[in-house]
Amino acid sequence: TSGILGRLHKLRNGSSIVVVKEDTLTRMSYCQCRLKLVFSSIFKQFSWNHVALLLDRSDLFSLTVGKHLEIGLRKAGTLSFVRELDGNEEENCQAYLRDASMYARVVILSVRGLLVRRCMIAAHHLGMTRGDWTFLDVEIVQGSYWGDHDWEVGDENDS
Protein backbone atom coordinates (compact mmCIF):
# COMPACT_ATOMS: atom_id res chain seq x y z
CA THR A 1 0.00 0.00 0.00
CA SER A 2 2.88 2.40 0.58
CA GLY A 3 3.60 2.46 -3.16
CA ILE A 4 0.01 3.43 -3.88
CA LEU A 5 -0.02 6.11 -1.20
CA GLY A 6 3.23 7.51 -2.57
CA ARG A 7 1.72 7.82 -6.02
CA LEU A 8 -1.41 9.47 -4.65
CA HIS A 9 0.77 11.99 -2.84
CA LYS A 10 2.54 12.84 -6.11
CA LEU A 11 -0.82 13.23 -7.84
CA ARG A 12 -1.96 15.77 -5.28
CA ASN A 13 1.21 17.76 -5.82
CA GLY A 14 0.47 18.07 -9.53
CA SER A 15 2.95 15.48 -10.75
CA SER A 16 1.98 13.17 -13.54
CA ILE A 17 1.37 9.51 -12.85
CA VAL A 18 3.61 6.95 -14.48
CA VAL A 19 1.81 3.66 -15.06
CA VAL A 20 4.01 0.78 -13.99
CA LYS A 21 3.10 -2.83 -14.60
CA GLU A 22 3.41 -4.67 -11.31
CA ASP A 23 2.48 -8.18 -10.28
CA THR A 24 -0.58 -7.71 -8.15
CA LEU A 25 -3.74 -9.62 -7.41
CA THR A 26 -7.05 -7.90 -7.94
CA ARG A 27 -10.16 -9.72 -6.89
CA MET A 28 -13.21 -8.35 -8.56
CA SER A 29 -16.51 -8.75 -6.78
CA TYR A 30 -19.10 -10.75 -8.63
CA CYS A 31 -22.34 -9.08 -9.57
CA GLN A 32 -25.39 -10.83 -8.14
CA CYS A 33 -27.47 -9.43 -10.97
CA ARG A 34 -25.48 -11.64 -13.37
CA LEU A 35 -26.47 -14.84 -11.55
CA LYS A 36 -29.89 -14.75 -13.16
CA LEU A 37 -28.23 -14.57 -16.56
CA VAL A 38 -25.96 -17.51 -15.78
CA PHE A 39 -28.82 -19.68 -14.60
CA SER A 40 -31.12 -18.53 -17.40
CA SER A 41 -28.53 -19.51 -20.01
CA ILE A 42 -28.26 -22.99 -18.46
CA PHE A 43 -32.05 -23.34 -18.44
CA LYS A 44 -32.25 -22.22 -22.06
CA GLN A 45 -29.48 -24.63 -23.13
CA PHE A 46 -31.33 -27.62 -21.64
CA SER A 47 -34.89 -26.34 -22.29
CA TRP A 48 -35.73 -26.28 -18.58
CA ASN A 49 -38.81 -24.16 -17.90
CA HIS A 50 -39.89 -25.14 -14.39
CA VAL A 51 -37.41 -24.34 -11.64
CA ALA A 52 -37.65 -24.53 -7.85
CA LEU A 53 -35.58 -22.39 -5.48
CA LEU A 54 -34.81 -23.27 -1.86
CA LEU A 55 -33.11 -20.52 0.13
CA ASP A 56 -31.85 -20.19 3.67
CA ARG A 57 -33.27 -17.11 5.37
CA SER A 58 -30.98 -17.56 8.41
CA ASP A 59 -27.81 -17.03 6.34
CA LEU A 60 -27.46 -13.50 4.95
CA PHE A 61 -25.34 -14.52 1.97
CA SER A 62 -27.72 -17.33 0.94
CA LEU A 63 -30.76 -15.11 1.49
CA THR A 64 -29.35 -12.20 -0.53
CA VAL A 65 -28.27 -14.40 -3.44
CA GLY A 66 -31.55 -16.33 -3.27
CA LYS A 67 -33.68 -13.19 -3.35
CA HIS A 68 -31.76 -11.85 -6.36
CA LEU A 69 -32.33 -15.15 -8.12
CA GLU A 70 -35.99 -15.20 -7.13
CA ILE A 71 -36.64 -11.75 -8.58
CA GLY A 72 -34.65 -12.39 -11.76
CA LEU A 73 -36.04 -15.85 -12.48
CA ARG A 74 -39.61 -14.70 -11.83
CA LYS A 75 -39.13 -11.98 -14.43
CA ALA A 76 -37.72 -14.58 -16.83
CA GLY A 77 -40.77 -16.77 -16.23
CA THR A 78 -38.89 -19.91 -15.20
CA LEU A 79 -39.45 -19.93 -11.43
CA SER A 80 -42.28 -22.26 -10.41
CA PHE A 81 -41.64 -22.76 -6.69
CA VAL A 82 -39.84 -20.89 -3.88
CA ARG A 83 -39.41 -21.88 -0.24
CA GLU A 84 -37.42 -20.18 2.47
CA LEU A 85 -36.12 -22.37 5.23
CA ASP A 86 -34.41 -21.61 8.52
CA GLY A 87 -31.02 -23.28 8.42
CA ASN A 88 -30.58 -22.87 12.17
CA GLU A 89 -33.40 -25.30 12.84
CA GLU A 90 -33.61 -29.00 12.07
CA GLU A 91 -35.89 -28.49 9.11
CA ASN A 92 -37.17 -31.45 7.16
CA CYS A 93 -35.45 -31.18 3.78
CA GLN A 94 -37.50 -34.12 2.51
CA ALA A 95 -40.74 -32.15 2.96
CA TYR A 96 -39.33 -29.16 1.03
CA LEU A 97 -38.08 -31.39 -1.77
CA ARG A 98 -41.39 -33.26 -2.00
CA ASP A 99 -43.19 -29.92 -2.33
CA ALA A 100 -40.69 -28.66 -4.91
CA SER A 101 -40.97 -31.86 -6.96
CA MET A 102 -44.67 -31.16 -7.60
CA TYR A 103 -43.72 -28.01 -9.52
CA ALA A 104 -40.25 -28.54 -10.94
CA ARG A 105 -37.53 -31.04 -11.80
CA VAL A 106 -34.74 -28.48 -11.45
CA VAL A 107 -33.90 -27.31 -7.92
CA ILE A 108 -31.58 -24.44 -7.06
CA LEU A 109 -30.15 -24.58 -3.55
CA SER A 110 -29.20 -21.16 -2.21
CA VAL A 111 -28.23 -22.49 1.19
CA ARG A 112 -25.03 -22.87 3.19
CA GLY A 113 -22.85 -25.93 2.70
CA LEU A 114 -24.23 -28.01 5.57
CA LEU A 115 -27.75 -27.63 4.19
CA VAL A 116 -26.64 -28.59 0.69
CA ARG A 117 -25.43 -31.86 2.17
CA ARG A 118 -28.66 -32.38 4.15
CA CYS A 119 -30.83 -31.60 1.12
CA MET A 120 -28.87 -33.92 -1.15
CA ILE A 121 -29.02 -36.77 1.37
CA ALA A 122 -32.78 -36.18 1.63
CA ALA A 123 -33.02 -36.14 -2.19
CA HIS A 124 -31.17 -39.45 -2.30
CA HIS A 125 -33.60 -41.00 0.21
CA LEU A 126 -36.51 -39.73 -1.91
CA GLY A 127 -35.05 -41.30 -5.07
CA MET A 128 -34.37 -37.91 -6.65
CA THR A 129 -30.71 -38.59 -7.49
CA ARG A 130 -31.28 -41.08 -10.30
CA GLY A 131 -31.23 -38.52 -13.10
CA ASP A 132 -34.84 -37.29 -13.23
CA TRP A 133 -34.07 -34.20 -11.14
CA THR A 134 -31.27 -31.67 -11.42
CA PHE A 135 -29.80 -29.88 -8.41
CA LEU A 136 -27.80 -26.67 -8.74
CA ASP A 137 -25.88 -25.27 -5.78
CA VAL A 138 -25.03 -21.57 -5.52
CA GLU A 139 -21.39 -21.54 -4.40
CA ILE A 140 -19.88 -18.31 -5.65
CA VAL A 141 -16.89 -18.24 -3.32
CA GLN A 142 -15.26 -21.38 -1.93
CA GLY A 143 -14.10 -21.53 1.66
CA SER A 144 -15.16 -22.28 5.18
CA TYR A 145 -16.27 -18.67 5.80
CA TRP A 146 -19.08 -19.15 3.27
CA GLY A 147 -19.94 -22.65 4.48
CA ASP A 148 -18.01 -25.58 3.09
CA HIS A 149 -19.91 -27.35 0.35
CA ASP A 150 -17.82 -30.51 0.61
CA TRP A 151 -19.55 -33.86 1.01
CA GLU A 152 -17.32 -35.55 3.51
CA VAL A 153 -17.91 -34.92 7.20
CA GLY A 154 -16.82 -38.30 8.53
CA ASP A 155 -20.17 -40.05 8.97
CA GLU A 156 -22.01 -42.99 7.37
CA ASN A 157 -23.45 -40.77 4.61
CA ASP A 158 -20.05 -39.94 3.08
CA SER A 159 -20.18 -42.73 0.51
Q: Are 63 and 35 in contact (CB under 8 A)?
A: no
User: Residue 136 — left, alpha, or beta (φ > 0 → left; ψ -120 to 50 → alpha)?
Assistant: beta
Least confident of 15-19, 54-58, 100-104: 15-19
Distance CA(70)–CA(33), nearest Å, equals 11
Highest mean pLDDT among 18-22, 125-129, 155-159: 125-129
Share of the chain above pLDDT 90, in %: 48
Environment class of 119 (CB within 10 Å of its CB; exposed 0-12, middle 13-18, buried 19+): buried
On the question of pLDDT at 67 being above 70, the answer is yes
Output Rg (C-alpha) for the chain, integer angstroms.
Answer: 21
- Mean pLDDT score of the chain: 80
- Which pLDDT band, with edges at 50, 70 and 90, does 61 fall under? confident
Mean pLDDT value of segment 110-138: 90
Contact residues for 157 (Cβ-Cβ < 8 A; gap 6+): 117, 121
Mean pLDDT, rounded, for 96-107: 96
Q: Domains along the chain?
A: 32-146 (3.40.50.2300)
